[in-house]
Amino acid sequence: MQRLPAGVPEEGRPFPWVLPRPSWATVLRLSQLLLFSIGVCCLIYCGQLCQKQLQLKPLEAHVAELQLNLTVPRKDPTLRWAAGPTLGRSFTHGPGLEKGQLYIHREGIYRLHIQVTLANCSSTYSTMQHRATVAVGICSPAAHSISLLRLPFGQGCTVASQRLTHLALGDVLCTNLTLPLRPSRNAEETFFGVQWVHP
C-alpha cells in the first residue's frame, strides 16, 4: 500500500478536519432525543410549579368560640367548655374539644381570647374575689405545659384578655378559675376562643 505524502487528503475525504455529514436517520434520532429531553424537563418544572401552587392555596381556617359547659358540677378549678349549634354562637372549625378542653389540630400562631365574669358578683368585693384569678395554659402534653395568661380579678367582676401565641399540634388548652368562685353562665359574659393566624 502506498502512503500519501503529508498534507494530501485521503480519497473520498477532501478535508480530514471536516466531520462526515450525518444521515437523515441520525438527525431524526437526535431530534427525537432532544424533544424527549425537553418534555421530561417540562414535566419536572410543571410538577414543581403545581406543588408550589398547592402550597400557596389558602389554608382552611382553624377557629373556635366556646361557651361554658356547666352541666357538670365544678370539683376542681378547671373550666369546661362546649360548642355547637344548640349552644347559640359557639362553634369549632379545626380545633377539637377533649373533656371540655380545647385540643389543637394544626401547629401555628394563634390568637387566643378569654373573658370570664363571676356569677353573683357585687361591687363590694370579698377577699376571695380579690385574690381570684383566671389562668389559661397548655396543660397537655406535659412537655409543652406552660401558663399563657394569668388574669387577676382584683376589685372587678370581669377579666378579659387576648394574646398571640405559638401552639403545637396536640396541645390541649386548659382554663382555671379559683375555687369556690363560679363563672357566669351568660354566653356574652363568659367565653373563650382561638383563631389560627399564621403557620
Render pLDDT for 103-153 as a digit per residue (tens, 0 to 9): 999 999 999 999 999 988 876 656 677 788 999 999 988 887 899 999 998
Q: Let me know how long the chain is.
A: 199
Q: Which of 78, 74, 67 is nearest to 191 (CA)?
A: 67
> pTM to 2 decimals?
0.67
The backbone region for 2, taken as left when phi is positive above 0, alpha when psi lies in -120 to 50, beta otherwise, is beta
Residue 92: partners with Cβ closer than 8 Å, 6 or more residues away: 63, 64, 66, 83
Residue with cell 380545633: 95
Q: What 3-state class would DSSP assign to 39?
A: helix
C-alpha grid cell, residue 84: 355547637
- Among 20-29, 89-98, 104-113, 146-155, the range scoring the smallest mean pLDDT is 20-29
C-alpha grid cell, residue 160: 378579659
